[in-house]
A and B are shown apart, each in its own frame.
Chain A
Amino acid sequence: KAGVTQTPRYLIKTRGQQVTLSCSPISGHRSVSWYQQTPGQGLQFLFEYFSETQRNKGNFPGRFSGRQFSNSRSEMNVSTLELGDSALYLCASSFDGTADLNGEAFFGQGTRLTVV
């Protein structure tokens, strides 16, 4: 089956602009989580959506937001971009958001955002 798809793969934006990233989960998966990956901080959790509802949120400013559609596809939006937002943004899909014996998070290849 098709894996998690993230678009676009690469983005270059200038400070102050906004950006929207997209994530299509594996068919049948209803949970989508977003992570920011940087060399210094590793992977940091942004938020998780399940059935169009945000269930959990990490410690990121309000400039970072997201949503999920009825087909489970998710978008992440960052407004008023800052240089420090440059990172690889990963999304992960799972059936129901759990990672127990039967659960597993599958990751996309990420969107590389560069803010100049």
Chain B
Amino acid sequence: AQRVTQPEKLLSVFKGAPVELKCNYSYSGSPELFWYVQYSRQRLQLLLRHISRESIKGFTADLNKGETSFHLKKPFAQEEDSAMYYCALWARGNNRLAFGKGNQVVVIP
């Protein structure tokens, strides 16, 4: 079975400071990892996926299979980054996304 762990529920950072959201996973196969974001009063949406290796809205995430981690990083937080962030794992053949419990990020002006 797959499992995703996001250790910190709430993260407060000052505008301009770096932000890092930790995500660790447990899965015996080859995982597909994602970060989803939910802004206030908006629907959950895909932020980025490990396989595309993109930087979206200044965020990056690197899959580290040795440490089974997929941490999300941004060097300079902006107020509009305040949101709920979920790390998710998709297991091939399982047809489901397993989500972590989420990180609430608050960017202080």
Contact = CB atoms under 8 A, between A and B. Distances in A.
B95 A48 contact: yes
Nearest to B98: A45
B95 A97 contact: yes
A108 B42 CA distance: 9
Contacts of A109: 42-43
A98 B46 CA distance: 14
A104 B46 contact: yes
Which among B43, B45, B102 has the highest number of chain A CB atoms within 10 Å? B43
B38 to A, nearest CB: 9
Interface string A92-104: 1000011111001
Contacts of B42: 109
Interface residues of B, number: 22
A42 B100 contact: yes
B101 A41 contact: yes
Interface string A30-44: 010101000011111
B98 A110 contact: no
Given A43-B86, A43-B99, A55-B95, A99 B34 contact: yes
B86 to A, nearest CB: 7
21 contacts: A33-B95, A42-B100, A43-B44, A43-B86, A43-B97, A56-B96, A58-B96, A92-B97, A97-B95, A98-B90, A99-B34, A99-B49, A100-B32, A100-B51, A101-B49, A101-B51, A105-B97, A106-B45, A107-B43, A108-B43, A109-B42
